[in-house]
């Protein structure tokens, strides 16, 4: 009996070791599926970078395709992409940091900060209305599309105006302010594009509905639109950004809570069929078991697509940046949505 029992600890060790391996494999059932997905072409091709990180550690990373389509230069994980509307939450943070300094009040009409604008709606549209797209502004020379604060109307105009407000209250250019933010937070591969640095940005590609393509060299988004849709970053830097933003490194707790609280909802195909909340430059999905923050971005003329997702319970980021876009919007976010589904159905977020 003594000899038989002496083997028990070894047997238990083998049992636990094998089960640990099983659970690790079960939790990592996303790697092979994403690898397989990005190589498919049945819906459309994939060309871009994918990064999944958790607690500051990389769980999956892949650079697939070209940074220069003509030269067939392979993409690298540290390549620079225009992050499009993922610029908005960065601009929102810059606004909120000025709120914390007492230089901006969220419920104040924007006439106070932009006195040169003469439209009547400057007396009713507040800074908060710009942040959560409830301003109703559709044109700087036209009336609002609805009563201010009553509906959601997504437009870059809101964040173009927020960029101007930042310049007004800081007495600095938006470019200077945002680059200072990146420098302080060690986001060394993120920047405001200009004539000196835009050569670092990968080429974009636009697929037209007639199957012809156009390669886009350089950043063509106008300078005034950069706060809304034109900042440059990498998948690695956006993971750093997520960890900073959602873990109290950029904003005070109360300010962050306000940024991620919503009063308005809207549907976006990447997040499913249900309407979800929109805070300040960030979507808030609390319609599922796993809470989700995120944003998307697409500018067909620039030839880029971006999705940045964050899951606070497990401190997990899913970031997909593509240097291509499709005039057929139905397939524009195909890979981004599928990668999200794969991770949500894996064990990584449990």
Which of the four pLDDT bands, split at 50, 70 and 90, describes residue 12? very low
Q: Round to the nearest angstrom and report the end-to-end CA distance of the chain.
A: 42
Give the position of tokens 């999905």: 285
- Residue pair 81/201 in contact (Cβ under 8 Å)? The answer is yes
CATH architecture of residue range(s) 37-344: 3-Layer(aba) Sandwich (3.40)
Contact 148, 124 (CB under 8 A): yes
pLDDT of residue 151: 98
Report the sign of the C-alpha dihedral through residues 199, 202, 207, 212, in that order.
positive
- Give per-residue pLDDT as tens, 266-275: 999 999 999 9
Q: What is the pLDDT of residue 29?
A: 86
CA separation for the pair 67, 62 (Å, rounded): 14
Quote the pLDDT of residue 10.
56
Q: Sorting pLDDT into bands at 50, 70 and 90, what band is 27?
A: low
Q: Tell me how far apart the alpha carbons of residues 263 and 268 are, in angstroms, rounded to a whole number.
A: 16
Q: What is the structure's pLDDT at 264?
A: 97
Question: Chain-wide mean pLDDT for the chain?
Answer: 93
Q: What is the pLDDT of residue 288?
A: 84
Please report the pLDDT score of residue 299 as a whole number: 97
- Given this model, what pLDDT does residue 16 score? 46
Find the helix or strand (DSSP H, E) in which 142 lies: none
Instruction: Provide the sign of the torsion angle of the four alpha carbons 43, 44, 45, 46, taken in this order.
Output: negative
Is a pLDDT exceeding 90 seen at residue 26?
no
Task: Kindly state the tokens that stand for 188.
Answer: 């060394």
- Residue 20 pLDDT exceeds 70: no
pLDDT in tens, 38-86: 999 999 999 999 999 999 999 999 999 999 999 999 999 999 999 999 9
Residues of the chain above pLDDT 70, percent? 92
pTM score: 0.92
CA dist 60 and 47 (Å) reads 16
Domain ranges of the chain: 37-344
At 91-129, the pLDDT tens digits run 999 999 999 999 999 999 999 999 999 999 999 999 999
The band of 2, judged by pLDDT with boundaries at 50, 70 and 90, is very low
At residue 18, does pLDDT exceed 50?
no
Q: What is the pLDDT of residue 9?
A: 58
- Three-state DSSP at 63 gives strand
What per-residue confidence (pLDDT) applies to 211? 84
Q: Which residue has the tokens 């960065």?
A: 90
């Amino acid at each position: 009996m003594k000899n038989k029992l002496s083997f028990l600890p070894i047997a238990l060790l083998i049992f636990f070791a094998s089960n640990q391996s099983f659970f690790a494999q079960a939790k990592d059932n996303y790697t092979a599926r994403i690898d397989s997905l990005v190589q498919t072409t049945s819906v459309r091709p994939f060309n871009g970078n994918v990064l999944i990180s958790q607690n500051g550690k990389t769980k999956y990373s892949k650079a697939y395709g070209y940074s220069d389509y003509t030269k067939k230069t392979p993409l690298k994980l540290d390549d620079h992409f225009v992050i499009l509307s993922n610029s908005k939450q960065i601009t929102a943070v810059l606004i909120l940091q000025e709120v914390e300094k007492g230089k901006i009040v969220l419920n104040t009409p924007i006439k106070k900060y932009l006195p040169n604008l003469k439209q009547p709606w400057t007396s009713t549209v507040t800074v908060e209305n710009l942040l959560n797209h409830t301003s109703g502004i559709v044109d700087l020379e036209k009336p609002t599309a609805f009563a201010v604060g009553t509906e959601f109307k997504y437009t870059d105009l809101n964040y173009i105006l927020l960029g101007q407000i930042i310049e007004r209250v800081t007495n600095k250019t938006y470019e200077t302010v945002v680059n200072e933010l990146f420098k302080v937070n060690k986001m060394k591969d993120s920047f405001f594009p200009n004539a000196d640095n835009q050569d670092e940005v990968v080429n974009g590609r636009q697929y037209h509905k007639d199957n012809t393509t156009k390669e886009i060299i350089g950043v063509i988004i106008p300078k005034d639109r950069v706060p809304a849709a034109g900042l440059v970053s990498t998948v690695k830097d956006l993971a750093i950004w997520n960890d900073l933003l959602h873990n109290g490194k950029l904003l005070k707790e109360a300010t962050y809570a306000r940024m991620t609280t919503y009063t308005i909802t809207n549907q976006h195909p990447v997040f499913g069929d249900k309407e979800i909340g929109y805070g300040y430059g960030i979507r808030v999905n609390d319609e599922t078991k796993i809470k989700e923050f995120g944003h998307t971005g697409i500018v067909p003329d620039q030839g880029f697509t971006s999705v940045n997702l964050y899951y606070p319970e497990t401190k997990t980021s899913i970031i997909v940046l593509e240097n291509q876009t499709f005039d057929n919007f139905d397939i524009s976010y195909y890979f981004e949505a599928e990668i999200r589904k794969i991770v949500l159905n894996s064990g990584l977020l449990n």
